[in-house]
C-alpha cells in the first residue's frame, strides 16, 4: 500500500495557494477520508477522486467541501458542513476537496472558479 502524496491546490489567474491536500488512489482512502482526525490544520485537506458526494458521519469537526469537475472548475461549494450531514450527489463533480471550515470563504472561492491541482515537489 502506497502512502498518500501531497498535492498543491492553486487558484488559476492569481496563483494563490488554497491548500496542500493528501491524495491516494483507491476506495479505502476515499472511505476513510478525514475520519479519526480531531482537527484539520489551516491550509491542509484531502482530495477525494473520484467523488461526487460526501458524508460527515462520525466526524468531529466541520469542513468546507469543494466539488470539482474534470477540468478543476468549482461546480459546488458547501461551507462549514457539520458532523452527521450528507451532501447531495453532484452529477457534474469528479472530485472533492475537503478543507478546513471557513477557508473557502477566506480565499473567496466561488462556483466557476478554476483550480489547478499539481503534485507538490519535494
C-alpha cell at 95: 472530485
> Residue 55 pLDDT more than 60?
yes
pLDDT at 9: 97
Confidence band for 1, pLDDT divided at 50, 70 and 90? low
Mean pLDDT for the chain overall = 94
This prediction has a pTM of 0.94
> Residue 69 pLDDT more than 70?
yes
pLDDT at 89: 98
pLDDT at 73: 98
Residue-wise pLDDT tens digits, 16-31:
999 999 999 999 899 8
pLDDT at 3: 80
Identify the structural domains of the chain with CATH numbers, from first to last: 5-119 (2.60.120.1140)
Residue-wise pLDDT tens digits, 75-113:
999 999 999 999 999 999 999 999 999 999 999 999 999
Classify 42 as helix, strand or coil.
coil
Q: What is the rounded distance in angstroms from the CA atom of residue 76 to the CA atom of residue 84? A: 20
What spatial distance separates the first Cα and last Cα of the chain, rounded to whole Å?
A: 20
Q: CA 30 → CA 16, 51, 62, 67, distances in Å?
A: 26, 8, 17, 14
Amino acid at each position: 500500500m502506497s502512502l498518500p502524496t501531497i498535492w498543491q491546490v492553486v487558484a488559476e489567474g492569481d496563483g494563490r495557494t488554497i491548500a496542500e491536500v493528501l491524495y491516494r488512489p483507491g476506495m479505502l482512502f476515499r472511505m476513510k477520508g478525514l475520519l479519526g482526525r480531531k482537527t484539520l490544520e489551516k491550509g491542509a485537506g484531502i482530495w477525494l477522486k473520484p467523488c461526487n458526494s460526501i458524508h460527515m458521519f462520525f466526524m468531529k469537526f466541520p469542513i468546507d467541501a469543494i466539488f470539482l469537475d474534470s477540468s478543476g472548475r468549482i461546480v459546488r461549494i458547501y461551507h462549514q458542513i457539520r458532523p452527521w450531514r450528507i451532501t447531495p450527489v453532484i452529477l457534474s463533480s469528479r472530485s472533492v476537496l475537503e478543507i478546513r471550515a471557513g477557508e473557502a470563504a477566506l480565499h473567496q472561492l466561488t462556483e466557476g472558479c478554476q483550480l489547478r491541482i499539481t503534485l507538490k515537489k519535494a
